[in-house]
Amino acid sequence: MAIYFCSLASGSSGNCQYIASETTGILLDAGLSGKYINNSLESIDAKVDQLKALFITHEHSDHVKSAGILMRKYGLTLYLTQPTFERVESKLGKYDKDKIIIIEKDKDIQVGDITVHPFAISHDAIDCVAYSFTKEELKISIVTDLGYVPLDLLSKLIDSNLLMLESNHDVEMLNAGRYPYVLKKRILSQKGHISNETAGETIVRVHSYSSSLGHVVLGHLSQDNNTPELAFETVKSILEESGLEIGEDISLDLAYRDRVGKLYKLD
């Protein structure tokens, strides 16, 4: 029994995550070129002939850019909510209607031996969702592009063995930066993005409910209002202040906007 995870890229310039078992491969989002995604999969020796599905979180271009290309190249079935499909359809190009599956929030989908659970999150998109991926007792949750973390979202993350969580910005960098006021206000709103501090506090809360959380990957870092080092050190400090020892109680890692991250094997 094993489940794999790798972030192929995460950030405003494009998002794609890889989740797989020994027999089933899944992609989450397709916000980069088909060539980049194909090369990234080859770099981690992914079994591309076992790719079955592409799940979409929301309609923004950094999540759907090459959805149609990947459907045609790998024969993938596309899974997304009805409102998101209505926004995305015109960007797909030619597609097989039998390869479109409309999903509903909080209803499980079975893809091979992986159970996928979509759930609502707050972001400035028409119908934004996040997902957990479960194989037997192993669970991976991937949550980016969210403005705040309500209690019902925390409940979805309990029992995760690996959590990829947005750590988008440093509040001081954002406030002092060059973004116009309206954009700063949107990012800081409940339909924007969460900060490094909120990410750290969320991880502590999830771990306090369930000690099964052994791995955390920080994702969707802002290019202008964050740095990988700042995100890592801010979250690390919050975890350590709560009594968690990095490398012993929990591992902490980063997803990158321009390169493939670590390939995790959970078993």
What confidence score (pLDDT) does residue 211 get? 85
Q: What is the DSSP string of 2-43?
A: -EEEEEEE-STT--EEEEE-SS-EEEE---S-HHHHHHHHHH
In this prediction, residue 219 carries a pLDDT of: 98
Phi, psi of 158 (to 5 degrees): -60, 145
Confidence (pLDDT) at 23 = 97
Residue 80 to residue 145: CA distance in whole angstroms: 16
The CATH number of 3-266, from 1.20.120.420, 3.60.15.10, 3.40.50.1000, 3.30.160.60, is 3.60.15.10
To the nearest 10°, the Cα dihedral for 255, 221, 130, 181?
A: -170
Crossing angle for the helix pair 67-74 and 34-43, nearest 10 degrees?
Answer: 50
Contact 209, 158 (CB under 8 A): yes
Q: Which residue has the tokens 């690996």?
A: 162
Q: Mind listing the pLDDT tens digit of every residue in the chain (267 residues)?
A: 899 999 999 999 999 999 999 999 999 999 999 999 999 999 999 999 999 999 999 999 999 999 999 999 999 999 999 999 999 999 999 999 999 999 999 999 999 999 999 999 999 999 999 999 999 999 999 999 999 999 999 999 999 999 999 999 999 999 999 999 999 999 999 999 999 999 999 999 999 998 899 999 999 999 999 999 999 999 999 999 999 999 999 999 999 999 999 999 999
In the prediction, which pLDDT does 210 show? 86
pLDDT reported for residue 38 = 97
Q: How far apart are CA 167 and CA 222, in angstroms?
A: 8
Give the per-residue pLDDT at 1: 84
Sole residue written with tokens 């045609």: 72
CA distance 258 to 248: 29
User: What letter does residue 170 receive in the DSSP assignment?
Assistant: -
- Which residue ranges make up each domain of the chain? 3-266
Instruction: Please list, in sequence order, all residues whose beta carbon lies within 8 angstroms of the beta carbon of residue 209, skipping any fewer than 6 positions away.
Output: 154, 158
Order across the sheet with 251-254: list the strands: 109-111, 114-120, 129-135, 138-143, 162-166, 215-219, 251-254
